[in-house]
Amino acid sequence: MSTSKAHLQKLRPAETALFVCDLQESSRGAIQYFSEIVQVAKRLIEGANILNMQILATGHWPDQERQTVCELELEKFGVELVEKTKFSMCVPLIGEKLKPTVKSVIICGTEAHACVLQSVLDLLSSGYQVHVVVDATSSRGAPDRFFSFRQMEQAGAVLTTSECALLGLIGTSDHPKFEEIRELVKESAPDTGLLQCHL
Q: pLDDT value at position 71?
A: 92
Which domains does the chain show, CATH number per domain?
14-185 (3.40.50.850)
Phi, psi for residue 83 in degrees, rounded to 5: -85, 145
Name which of 68-82, 136-150, 185-199 the model is least confident about. Answer: 185-199
Q: What is the pLDDT of residues 45-96, one digit of tens each?
A: 999 999 999 999 999 886 655 678 889 999 999 999 999 999 999 999 999 9
Known catalytic residues? 22, 84, 115
Each as own residue / partner, the long-range contacts of residues 90-95 (CB below 8 Å, 24 or more positions apart, any chain) are 90/119, 90/122, 90/123, 90/126, 91/58, 94/56, 94/58
Q: pLDDT value at position 10?
A: 85
